[in-house]
Amino acid sequence: MRESRVQATKVGGSLMVRLPAALAKAEGIEEGDEVELTFRKARTSWLGSMPDLPSMTRADELDIHE
């Protein structure tokens, strides 16, 4: 079993997910094959959520350890 993170896309009134070609090839999946899926919503890291936050300076690092 392999894992892959993909993004859901709206198509008409439904949501669609695409299998990456490399995953389909590795698993031998071809058009028309029936596949079994297990879903869970991916957790998003909070890192990068504050792009305007300045980088930590050496002085900041020293303050943490005092």
For residue 35, give every residue at least 6 positions away whose Cβ sits within 8 Å of its Cβ, in sequence order, or none.
19, 29
What Å distances lie between residue 2 and 11, 40, 59, CA to CA? 25, 14, 44
Instruction: For residue 22, give the nearest of 11, 41, 10, 6 by alpha carbon.
Output: 6
pLDDT digits (tens, 9 = 90+) for 7-61: 899 999 999 999 999 989 999 999 999 999 888 888 766 666 666 767 767 777 6
pLDDT digits (tens, 9 = 90+) for 5-21: 888 999 999 999 999 99
Q: pTM surpassing 0.85?
A: no
C-alpha angle with apex 45: 50 to 40, nearest 5 degrees?
140
8-state DSSP, 46: S
